[in-house]
């Protein structure tokens, strides 16, 4: 990996000691948007901002270390606005797989109260969870 030198002559590379605000983004090991999203999601989990367990009606708490298509849609960490719209459209048992299907078929934008901004939120959450999302999906 290429190294860069700043004005203080310290070596910059992914994962070096004393990473600080003056470092280039490459010191974080971030090369793609997916890398950045995974970093942000992990930071949210570490700080307690992302729920580690999500209540699923009738099933008790749902715990997941990795979001799968079988997980309830709540595992994606979407806004209450999106969750409520999906619940109203798909019922309380909507899964991540259901949302992926809606997105890929371009039917997500047809769900009542979900516009382009909310579709973008869903796309970002799916990418952050590690799902491939076609670039042509809007």
Say if 123 falls within a structural domain: yes
How many domains, in total, are found in the chain? 1
Q: For 66-69, which contacts have Cβ atoms below 8 Å and span 24 or more sequence positions? A: 66/130, 67/96, 67/129, 67/130, 67/131, 68/96, 69/95, 69/96, 69/97, 69/100
- This model's pTM is above 0.85: no
Tokens (6 digits) for 8: 């203080």
| pLDDT given for residue 110 in this prediction | 92
Would you say residue 3 lies in a domain? no
Residue 97 in domain: yes
The mean-pLDDT minimum among 18-22, 55-59, 121-125 falls in 55-59
- Tell me whether residue 74 is in a domain: yes
12 within some domain? no
**Numbers of helices and strands, H then E, in the chain:** 4, 4
> Does the residue 10 lie in any domain?
no
* pLDDT of amino acid 84: 92
Is residue 3 predicted with pLDDT exceeding 50? Answer: no
| Residue 124 in domain | yes
Confidence of residue 22 (pLDDT cuts 50, 70, 90): confident
Domain assignment of residue 119, given as a range: 52-128
Establish if 118 belongs to a structural domain: yes
**Other C-beta atoms lying within 10 Å of the C-beta of residue 45:** 14
What are the tens digits of pLDDT across the range 62-114? 667 788 899 988 889 899 999 999 988 877 778 899 999 999 898 999 999 99
> pLDDT tens for residues 32-55?
776 776 666 666 666 655 444 343
Let me know: does 120 contact 138? Beta carbons within 8 Å.
no
């Amino acid at each position: 990996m290429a190294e860069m030198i700043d004005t203080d002559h310290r070596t910059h590379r992914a994962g070096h000691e004393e990473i600080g605000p003056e470092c280039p983004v490459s010191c974080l090991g971030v090369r793609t948007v997916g890398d950045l999203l995974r970093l942000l999601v992990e930071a949210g989990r570490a700080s307690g901002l992302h729920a580690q367990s999500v209540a699923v009606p009738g099933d008790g708490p749902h715990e997941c270390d990795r979001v799968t298509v079988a997980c309830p849609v709540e595992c994606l960490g979407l806004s209450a606005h999106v969750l409520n719209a999906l619940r109203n459209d798909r019922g309380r048992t909507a899964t991540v797989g259901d949302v992926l299907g809606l997105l890929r078929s371009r039917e997500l934008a047809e769900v009542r109260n979900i516009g382009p901004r909310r579709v973008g939120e869903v796309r970002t959450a799916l990418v952050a969870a590690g799902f491939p999302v076609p670039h042509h999906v809007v």
